Amino acid sequence: MVGLADCNNFFVSCERTLNPALENRAVVVLSNNDGCVVARSNEAKRSGIKMGQPAFQIKDRIQSGEIIALSGNHLLYRDISLKVHDIFRRYAPKTLDYSVDEAFLIMDGIPESELKAIGEAIAANCWDELHIPVTIGFAPSKTLAKIVSENCKKRGRRVGVLVNVESVRPVLQKMSISDLWGIGRRLSKRLYASGVYTIGDFADKDLWWIRATLGINGERSWRELHGEDCIELSHVQTTLQDSVSESRTFPEDVDDYDYLRARIAIYAADCSKKLRAMGGACKIVGAMLQTNRFHQERGVARPEGFLRFDDPTDDTVVICNAAISILERIYIPDIAFKRAAVWLGEIVPKQSVLPSLFDSQESIKEKASRTLLMKAIDNINISPGMPVLKLASQITQGHPGHNDGYSSSFQAPK
């Protein structure tokens, strides 16, 4: 059996962990440039707001206070995403991270009779530890698990287990073919022309017809609907590895700018190293500070900023300088912070980065030699943990009670 664990209204649920005043309100999260709706609370869904709806269409309702609209806080979402996926891993022999808020749970060797209790435990844990509502559907295939979890969500149930594939037929008959995993809008249109409107219609077709009409991907979906688990994540687009991040909670609250600056530089350097290890280059860097949630009577402060590069980069120096410039912008004097993070986003394969039209011959040469320099640094810092070679900005005077090897005193590499 396969489970699909899916966080409900994920971005909105993340925002609610920081601001309880958002509970029971119609809340939407808007896309990067505040262009359109990318997440909706149940209240917002009920009030008729559509996924992807442009923000200007609901401007009046936002201004009147009926709907609360928030800009995306993607470092927060990534942070919580990692924790949610960690909880999933506690309960399943194997998990496949599918997106920022979904994972497939491969339950090989676990009796069907135990799945409901396991699902309940996962949902209870995510709620108790993180305050994130999660729905889990179990079925013989990934596609059916997705369908079960969708239906549970609609009915307000946390866990569903589908053992008998035939029993789901009436449900499939009511679901539009465009909602079938892996069948896009374009393919749906082609299917409408053949009288296939619902997922049930699709499952009722003969396999040879599906194969002839839609090829191997259609065949896999058909088999999945009949209970055969055959879609691998390499067949579909996953979206988790679109960012790299580093964050730490400090041993104590810190208001010392130099210390925070060194932390941000360290995390930026670590992220850059990870980025190069995966052969990527990033277009965006983000940095974030957060106050201690237990010491703040006025709620949690969480200043965050972004910087977009003209050309994708994997250069530690460029990324560190960018992260530090964000810190300068978001730092609030006299406030003690408990946590800092750096995040790299919009990652593209490094080989696909072409010299820009405006690059001079000089700067192309400069970039090539910087690539070699980064390679040399990575070779010297090959072992995990404390780097041997680091930027001056990564070094701090240390902090009381915090000896992590990044203090300015000389340490011979072991």
Cα–Cα nearest to 287, from 263, 258, 255, 315 = 263
In the complex with Mg ion, the residue whose CB is nearer, 7 or 180, is 7
User: What phi, psi does 27 have (nearest 5°)?
Assistant: -120, 135
Nearest distance, CB of residue 147 and Mg ion, angstroms: 14
In the complex with Mg ion, the residue whose CB is nearer, 38 or 307, is 38
245 beta partners: 343
As a whole number of angstroms, the distance between CA 152 and CA 134 comes to 10
Amino acid at 260: L
Angle at the Cα of 226 from the Cα atoms of 4 and 138, rounded to 5 degrees = 20
Residue 122 DSSP one-character state? H
Residue 15 is a binding residue for Mg ion (CB under 5 A): no
Q: Which stretch binds Mg ion (CB under 5 A): 49-57, 63-71, 100-108, 235-243?
A: 100-108
Nearest distance, CB of residue 235 and Mg ion, angstroms: 20
In the complex with Mg ion, the residue whose CB is nearer, 8 or 316, is 8
Nearest distance, CB of residue 134 and Mg ion, angstroms: 9
Helix axes 115-125, 74-91, angle to 10 degrees: 150
User: What phi, psi does 95 have (nearest 5°)?
Assistant: -125, 150
Cα–Cα nearest to 91, from 45, 44, 126, 140 = 126
Kind of pairing between the strands at 67-71 and 26-30: parallel
Nearest distance, CB of residue 160 and Mg ion, angstroms: 15
Six-digit token string for 261: 């600056």
Which stretches does DSSP call E strand in 232-384? 243-254, 280-291, 304-313, 337-349
Q: Which stretch binds Mg ion (CB under 5 A): 9-17, 155-163, 247-255, 357-365?
A: 9-17
Q: Which of residues 270-309 bind Mg ion (CB under 5 A)?
A: none
In the complex with Mg ion, the residue whose CB is nearer, 151 or 316, is 151
Which one of 15, 101, 270, 314 is in contact with Mg ion (CB under 5 A)? Answer: 101
Q: Which stretch binds Mg ion (CB under 5 A): 10-18, 41-49, 201-209, 383-391?
A: 10-18
Nearest distance, CB of residue 171 and Mg ion, angstroms: 19
Q: Which stretch binds Mg ion (CB under 5 A): 68-76, 80-88, 99-107, 153-161?
A: 99-107
Residue 6 is a binding residue for Mg ion (CB under 5 A): yes
In the complex with Mg ion, the residue whose CB is nearer, 134 or 203, is 134
What number of chain residues touch Mg ion (CB under 5 A)? 4
CB 95 within 8 A of CB 107: no
Nearest distance, CB of residue 158 and Mg ion, angstroms: 13
In the complex with Mg ion, the residue whose CB is nearer, 43 or 101, is 101
Neighbours of 33 (CB within 10 A): 9
Nearest distance, CB of residue 132 and Mg ion, angstroms: 10
Residues within the interface to Mg ion (CB under 5 A): 6-7, 10, 101
